[in-house]
Amino acid sequence: MVNATWHVAAIRFGLGPRLGEAPPADPRAWLGVQLGEEAPLPPGPSAGDGLRARAEDILDRNRSQGQLTGPTRAGQIARSTAQAWASRRLAAAAPFRERLVDFWMNHLTASRRSGQLSFLVGAYEREAIRPHVTGRFADMLVAAVLHPAMLIYLNADSSVGPNSAFGQRGGRGLNENLAREVLELHTLSPSGGYTQGDVTEFARLLTGWSVAQRAEPFGTIFRRHAHEPGAKRVLGRPFEEGPEAAEAALRFLAAQPATHRHLAVKLARHFVADDPPPAAIRAIEAALRDSDGDLGAAARALLALEAAWEPPLGKLRTPGDYVLALCRATALPEDRPEVALNGMAALGQPLWTAPQPIGWPDHGEAWAAPEAIMRRVDWAHTLAGRLQALLEPRAVAAAVLGPLARAETVTAVDRAGSPRDALTLVFSSPEFMRR
Amino acid sequence: MTETCEGGPRTTRRGLLLGLAATVAVGRTRLAFARTVGDARLVVVLLRGALDGVFAVQPYGDAAHAGLRGPLALPEPGGAGEEAQNPRLLDMGGFFGLHPALARLHAMYAANEALVLHAVAGNWRTRSHFDAQDMLESGASERLSSGWLNRALAAVPNPEAARAGLAIGTGVPLLLRGPTPVGAYAPTGMERPAPDLLYRVAALQAGDPLLGPAFAEGLRARGFAAETLGQRTGPVDREQITFPGLASTAGRLLAAADGPRVAAMELGGWDTHAGQIPRLTPLLRILDDGLAALKAGLGPHWGKTAVLVVTEFGRTVRPNGNFGTDHGTGGAAFVIGGAVAGGRVVADWPGLGAGGLLDNRDLAPTLDLRGVAKGLLRDHLKLPVDAVAAAFPGSNEAPAVAGMVRIRG
């Protein structure tokens, strides 16, 4: 007997049931195990591999004097890491962990939309985010902010201390972008009460941290000649001159109560409701505070929230969620990642391309524009046309919706004139659109 | 006279789609609408990311300009010789010069169809993109659940075949969200289900508070858009997903006699923290192409149109260390269209010199953006006082800017 707990676990905390997947005996325990188990890093190119490939592409292009055609090395890395992302999620055995990876990737967005880092985002996930999703937020923050992808994305790689040796030679100076977004988006949030002065001081403190893009070591470096001399003061706390200040300041910001609060609100919004109940926020906030910012503890606090388990499911799936859920519901083979990636692009959420550093929105209204919902139905119908010969619509509905299916949806599926129409109806139903 | 759309020889695909809402009014309503409500068209273009207004419209007549701006100050208009590498500003009357990538906008300016508002900002003083965009679109000092343009639409009757308000692009921006239903248009390249299947999908979604209304609205918008554009299914023209293509489509949809009256679109990418000149120049050209495409799409209706182009805040007057600019305050806005009393730069110029800058970094704002929008709602859409006040609650300190549109007979 399939019960609703399995479907809530698979849909809300996971990536949706996969057709043919046998439900675990204890769905709650199944989620808890995913937080604790050994999670070796998947193979993949490092940030250094990406930067080296890019440098070689530039050499090739210069040598060929613009005659070069065909895919570049960096472009191949961008494509292969995106495909690995999708393949991994089509077949994921620990989908809760994958959802957490995607959640923190969005919190600490480094978007491909800014050109120079398509070939770095896969490495960013692997090196900065994935190792810490059940570890300490401070460790994740340090790894993310000082990763080449983030340093390039938010211009820190070219920010120069005005009084540094490099700055004094003229021509270059401070760039506030990374400092501001760390304070506003990654840690305190505007309610944390920092000032323009804190932004500027933090930007000075971060100067020197840069990326060797054209030569060894092809990665994050500290350029002392670009570092602003002297002590800095952020939120009233002094930090000494030098490379150690960046990590010290990030750890200081990660531990602030306003940061815990901000993270708790975002986690509760993602896993409970667009407007999460205050009690849910408080519970996660307390877990972060009492565990020195342990994200595994925060995830376990989420699982313990009764509000997170109550059907009907109230969150609207984002386009990315919707596409992955549909691909898993149709048992799309993991060697067809391009179907998922193309679907995400067609529905308005191409992988790793949030338009702004704040990341993709996580409330239903942002994704419920009339044309956007119509497109989901178009895409489902298009895919259903290709897959209908392989699938039995009633079995698909039972597997992916189970007891969450409403009677009218079951009736509509039963009465549909073709398997394709029946599948379109399953995937267009509100219960499939939500999580 | 009304007719229902349940079967019968007069049922067309579009009729069926529209019929989902219940009944469709036909006949005299269309004529009555055209004669009683103004024909005015209003388009709002949101430039997300904060356009550097001092770069787009350069105050070269300000003695402090060239010194403060360094490489961002382009050569003044009118001098001898035209350098391809570093083209000159386009003259706007002796003090301001328009960026040369905005050549078509400059032609509109020369034809008195474009108005520039400078040293303008909303009433917020945050330098956060996201807070500022929320307030820009909400029309208030905090994020509201609806946008000012949606609230204004409450006073605009719906045409017979469309919603008065139309979002162009895949999403509906906060600006157009709210209690008044709006249409939406975006091109699509996927296979579309047949109308009867869409009807069954709509029935499944009807009970969902978020999806039900959205889907019904999507059907309505599609039925309308398909007829006006003459394209029902089939591959998408890639050009259409770019801004100029969408702007051209917006113009054609707005040109329909019974089509929408008010539209919103957006163009992102203005957050130029580094390498501003190579990044902004092509983007300004895309904006320029889009505005020209909008004008072309509107055809003769351009004469009844005003287009408001706004961004969430300006940028620092001094370049930062990377030939870019950081988040600032005052900037520029544009009002263009055949209905606009243009050919002028409206600015109570605060000066860039000593003491003129806000916090010694930003262009000091001397005009409230809300007043600009209120002036268009009042004088162009002819909305009553209480409707304007509902669009911009608590905005008494920002009176409507007068004289932006021509007096019409």
Residue B235 has pLDDT above 90, yes or no: no
Q: How confident is the model at residue B408 (pLDDT cuts 50, 70, 90)?
A: low
Is the same domain home to A144 and A94?
yes
Chain B touched by A314 (CB under 8 Å)? no
Instruction: Yes or no: say if B92 and B115 are a contact pair by the CB < 8 Å rule.
Output: no
Asked if B322 and A429 come within 8 Å (Cβ–Cβ), the reply is no
Given this model, what pLDDT does residue B165 score? Answer: 93
Is the same domain home to A230 and A376?
no
Residue B373 has pLDDT above 50, yes or no: yes
- Cβ neighbours of B360 in A, within 8 Å: none
Domain ranges of chain B: 40-187+236-391
User: Domain count of chain A?
Assistant: 3
**Is A370 inside any structural domain?**
yes
Cα A13 to Cα A103, A109, A349, B38: the distances in Å are: 11, 21, 20, 52
The predicted-structure confidence for A193-216, as pLDDT tens digits, reads as follows 999 999 999 999 999 999 999 999
Asked if B218 and A174 come within 8 Å (Cβ–Cβ), the reply is no
Tell which of A373, A379, A433 to mutate to test the B interface (max B CBs under 10 Å). A373
Given this model, what pLDDT does residue B219 score? Answer: 86
**Is A40 inside any structural domain?**
no
Is the same domain home to A276 and A161?
no
Residue A352 has pLDDT above 70, yes or no: yes
- Name which residue leads in pLDDT, B231 or B181: B181
Is the same domain home to A301 and A336?
no
Is the same domain home to A301 and A328?
no
The answer regarding whether domain B40-187+236-391 maps to CATH 3.40.720 reads yes
| Per-residue DSSP letter, A131 | G
Given this model, what pLDDT does residue B233 score? Answer: 39
Given this model, what pLDDT does residue B189 score? Answer: 59
For the entire predicted model, the pTM comes to 0.77
Amino acid in the structure at residue B15: G
Is the same domain home to A233 and A360?
no
Q: Which domain holds residue A97?
A: 47-65+72-254
- Cβ neighbours of B219 in A, within 8 Å: 374
Give me Rg for the CA atoms of chain B: 22
**Is A268 inside any structural domain?**
yes
Q: Which residue among A358, A378, A408 places its CB closest to the CB of B192?
A: A378
Residue A360 has pLDDT above 50, yes or no: yes
Instruction: Give the residue-averaged pLDDT of A310-319.
Output: 91
Residue B12 has pLDDT above 60, yes or no: no
Asked if A377 and B198 come within 8 Å (Cβ–Cβ), the reply is yes
**Is A81 inside any structural domain?**
yes
- Cβ neighbours of A424 in B, within 8 Å: 193, 197, 201
Residue B79 has pLDDT above 80, yes or no: no
Domain boundary among A309, A330, A345: A309
| Per-residue DSSP letter, A293 | S
Residue A387 has pLDDT above 90, yes or no: no
- Cβ neighbours of A385 in B, within 8 Å: 191
Q: In A279-301, which positions are buried (b, 16+ CB within 10 angstroms) versus exposed (e)? A: ebbebbbebbeebebbbbbbbbb
Highest mean pLDDT pick, A56-70, A301-315, B90-104, B131-145: B90-104
Domain boundary among A309, A344, A379: A309
- Name which residue leads in pLDDT, A31 or B23: A31
- Cβ neighbours of B170 in A, within 8 Å: 348, 369, 371-372, 375
- Name which residue leads in pLDDT, B83 or A326: A326
Which residue of chain A is at minimal alpha-carbon distance from B215?
A370
**Is A34 inside any structural domain?**
no
Cβ neighbour number for residue A314 with a 10 Å cutoff: 15
Instruction: Give the residue-averaged pLDDT of B134-161.
Output: 90
Given this model, what pLDDT does residue B104 score? Answer: 97
Q: Which residue among A173, A358, A412 places its CB closest to the CB of B204?
A: A412
Helix A295-303 / helix A278-290 crossing angle, nearest 10 deg = 150
Q: How confident is the model at residue B28 (pLDDT cuts 50, 70, 90)?
A: very low
The predicted-structure confidence for B272-326, as pLDDT tens digits, reads as follows 888 899 889 888 999 999 999 999 999 999 999 999 999 999 999 999 998 999 9
Which residue of chain B is at minimal alpha-carbon distance from A409?
B204
Is the same domain home to A365 and A410?
yes
Is the same domain home to A211 and A320?
no
Q: How confident is the model at residue B231 (pLDDT cuts 50, 70, 90)?
A: very low
The predicted-structure confidence for A150-175, as pLDDT tens digits, reads as follows 999 999 988 999 999 999 998 789 99
Q: Which residue among B128, B177, B200 places its CB closest to the CB of A425?
A: B200
Rounded distance, CA A74 to CA A79, Å? 9
Tell which of A213, A374, A435 to mutate to test the B interface (max B CBs under 10 Å). A374
Share of chain B above pLDDT 70, in %: 82
Rounded distance, CA B248 to CA B289, Å? 10
Instruction: Yes or no: say if B20 and B202 are a contact pair by the CB < 8 Å rule.
Output: yes
**Is A35 inside any structural domain?**
no
Asked if A356 and B127 come within 8 Å (Cβ–Cβ), the reply is no
Given this model, what pLDDT does residue A1 score? Answer: 37
Q: Which residue among A174, A378, A428 places its CB closest to the CB of B320?
A: A174
**Is A286 inside any structural domain?**
yes
Given this model, what pLDDT does residue B78 score? Answer: 80
**Is A200 inside any structural domain?**
yes
- Cβ neighbours of A430 in B, within 8 Å: 204-205, 207-208, 211-212
Residue B120 has pLDDT above 90, yes or no: yes
Is the same domain home to A115 and A233?
yes
Asked if A374 and B204 come within 8 Å (Cβ–Cβ), the reply is no
Instruction: Give the residue-averaged pLDDT of B75-100.
Output: 85
Is the same domain home to A191 and A260?
no
